[in-house]
Structure 1
Amino acid sequence: MASSSSTSFIKESYQYDMFLSFRCENTRKNFVDHLYHALGINTFKDNERLKKGKNINDQLLKSIEESKLFIIVFSKKYASSSWGLNELVKIMECQKSNEQIAYPVFYEVNPSEVRKQRGPVGEALVKRKWREALTEAANLSGWDLRNTADGVIYRSFALL
């Protein structure tokens, strides 16, 4: 009698063994470059793998989906990068749903600063919130008073 074995449906072939997520300004030329070369495996690193003329965000998110493992290099400026934060969201989604594994590395930043979003990490997030709030507010229909007489704007407010 033949026995049936349960087959795992975990994706066994990935385009990349590893995806490196980091904030380029303060880690690319030192720690990340050394790590990249030391890994010795098929690793996605943006300046090595991004195709010219293609949408950067789409390529990054697709590469995350196609990577088995992730190294997230948290640094003082990591949270100031919208690219890094988008990558982080996608990495955490993949880790939860696809059995891909993320490994955090805390480079010149305390893990509790990242966890509690304090120190330089918290400061970067606050600045981002201000920027996002300014952008959202500026995208609302409003009054541009650069070339308007004061009386015209007062009449506009009276209509509210």
Structure 2
Amino acid sequence: MAELTQASSFVSSFESSNYEVFLSYKWEDTRNNFTSILHKALKDSGINVFPDGKKLWTGDAIGPAIERAIEGSKIWIPVFSCGYVDSQRCLWELVQIVQCHRSNGQLILPIFYHVDPSDVEHHTGSCFKKAFQEHEKKFNSDILKIWKDALELVRNLKREVLDETR
């Protein structure tokens, strides 16, 4: 019971807040390198960043809090890595980010971390092609279209591309 009270307190501590930045990324791909450094740099600069932690993504009750954090953020930074489109969670976050961008005009600052932006949009390259082949086995064409449309919009925004040379 104490764990439930702690979890409830943790969720309510960020549920109603507005954030300046929401980072969307594949935990396993970038958390222990680029994204953790970016997250820390933003926080150290006094920027209110949505709380980072793998425990946020477990359980069903946290979903609405994440949706509110996305809706309340002023800037979204999706960090596209090789595994980003493997993750349904990342894709649904991106869809919500794009919907909010279209209706409210908040800023999306995509970062392409060791991936080619055209691979993201066109679902090419080994990572993205394989991920969408797997998604096609599990999801109907309407869901795939929603995800692909979101990826296309973000790919065409002003962006930062980080590769082995940078």
TM-score (norm: length of structure 2): 0.66
Distance 2:115 2:40 in 1: 23
Contact 1:50 1:59 in 2 (8 A): no
CA distance in 1 between counterparts of 2:57 and 2:117 reads 33
Aligned to 1:131: 138
* 2:20 counterpart residue number: 17
Q: CA RMSD in A?
A: 2.2
Corresponding letter in the other structure for 1:72: P
Structure 1 residues 62 and 127: alpha-carbon distance in aligned structure 2, compared to 1, 3 A threshold: same
Larger radius of gyration: 1
Per-residue CA deviations over 1:66-124 (Å, capped at 9, x if unaligned) read 10000000011100101000000000001111121101000010011011111111221
Aligned to 1:9: none
SS state at 1:87 partner = helix
> Which 5+ residue runs of structure 2 have no aligned equivalent?
1-16, 141-166
Relative distance call for 1:121 and 1:51 in structure 2 (3 A) is: closer
SS of residue in 1 equivalent to 2:123? coil
> d(CA) in 2 for partners of 1:131 and 1:52?
21
- Partners of 2:132 and 2:98 lie apart in 1 by 18
Is 2:119 the partner of 1:113?
yes
Q: More helix per residue: 1 or 2?
A: 2
Structure 2 counterpart of 1:31: 34
% identical aligned pairs: 39
Q: Partners in 1 of 2:133 and 2:58 — Cα distance?
A: 33
Q: Aligned equivalents of 2:129 and 2:51: distance in 1?
A: 26
Residues 45 and 129 of structure 1, relative CA distance in 2, 3 Å threshold: farther
C-alpha separation between the residues in 1 aligned to 2:85 and 2:66? 17
Tell me how far 1:129 sits from its aligned partner: 1.8
Q: Does the Cα contact within 8 Å between 2:77 and 2:110 map onto a contact in 1?
A: yes
1:92 corresponds, among 98, 111, 131, to 98
Which 4+ runs in 1 deviate beyond 4 A? 51-54
Letter in 2 for 1:106: F
1:34-72 CA-partner distances (Å, limit 9, x unpaired): 000111310014418949876232221111001000000
> 2 CA distance for matches of 1:115 and 1:27?
20
